[in-house]
Amino acid sequence: MPRTRTIVFSLGLAVVLYITLGAGLDGQRTLAAMQRLDARWWAAILGLSLINYALRFGRWHGYLHWLGEHVPVLRHAVIYLAGFALTTTPGKAGEGLRSVYLARLGVPYPHSLAAFFAERFLDLLAIALLSMLVLIAFSGYVWWVIAPIVALGVMLVAIRQRRLLEALQRRTAKPETRIQSMLQSIATAWDQAFALMANRPLYAGLAVGLLAWAAEGVSLFVIAHGLGIELALETAIGIYAVSMLVGALSFVPGGLGGTEAVMALLLKLSGVDGSTAIAITLIARIATLWFAVVIGLVALGGLEIDRRRRPRALDTSSTNRMS
């Protein structure tokens, strides 16, 4: 279980950033715009978020299966969702807490960390590719999209080079410093993730990522439509993807601030008035980021209640598989 103060700190920091973001906004006009969205539209956008989570879990479950791990689907789903409780940590690194709960089921840390590494990288690549849709409407922002795609492409080529991995493994074979120990852990996770970078899991994982994040982009289109704003579907998906990409690369917890600012800016450049653009942005973030955090906290609480009720036999039986 992550320390309670870690969760409180990450969520508290996120709230402070949101308060700072909203300090200069026209609260009344923004709230009025948000209230125009009735229950059916909320059901649609939350449903699209659930599709995103389901697709990403299916990919995650497939990754561990590919690595030879067989975890009961329902319990695995709860563990996966619990990771969302720490989505607001920088780079979503806190979602790595899944490894702790999976270890109790006998899944070695290198396997779950390899799945985490592959998931994060392919999500970034999928979002970067979806960002290209924004060029249809905003050709002047080409470098916002092209530069990250090129960088991720270079990283993908490097990650798939076995000789680079072997060179790192040789240099960290006998770690003498904390940095070398950290690099050794990276090399171990990279070695396990190498199997997930083969053509079949790579392309399948990328395809799932494209579908999952496109669903979130569709939610932006649905929100705009629900507020009576004409916004092309491909533009909505592109705006959402670019905003997420900027937020991810900023390494700010949950992409807060950067994601919202870019999303609102691009909506305004699309002809949406300021207060409505902010309302659309906030609704989108509530239905994606904060909806995920709430689900994660519920799942995490359930896991902790179950852990206190059940014997710790799994913890001890899996000790030999942790390395």
Identify the domain containing residue 285 by its residue range: 4-17+26-321
**In the prediction, which pLDDT does 15 show?**
66
Query: Which residues in the chain land under pLDDT 50?
Result: 1, 313-323
**In the prediction, which pLDDT does 314 show?**
45
Q: Which of 290, 215, 16, 107 is nearest to 96 (CA)?
A: 107
Exposure pattern of 90-110 as b/e (b: 16+ CB <10 Å)? ebbebbbbbbebbbbbbbbbb
Q: How many domains does the chain have?
A: 1
**In the prediction, which pLDDT does 165 show?**
77
DSSP structural state of residue 287? I
**Helix, strand, coil in percent for the chain, rounding step 5:** 85, 0, 15
**In the prediction, which pLDDT does 299 show?**
93
Please state the φ and ψ torsions of residue 231, each to the nearest 5 degrees: -140, 125
Distance CA 48, CA 42 (A): 10
Distance CA 215, CA 211 (A): 6
Q: What is the CA radius of gyration of the chain?
A: 21
**In the prediction, which pLDDT does 74 show?**
94
Provide the token pair at 280: 């659309």
- The answer to whether the CB of 51 falls within 8 A of the CB of 212 is yes
- The answer to whether the CB of 33 falls within 8 A of the CB of 279 is yes
Give residues with Cβ within 8 angstroms of 222, minimum separation 6: 41, 44, 45, 48
What pTM value is reported for the model? 0.81
Q: Which of 299, 243, 247, 248 is nearest to 268 (CA)?
A: 243
Instruction: Quote the Cα angle for 82-19-288, to 5°.
Output: 35
Give residues with Cβ within 8 angstroms of 241, minimum separation 6: 127, 128, 130, 131, 133, 134, 213, 217
- The answer to whether the CB of 263 falls within 8 A of the CB of 155 is no
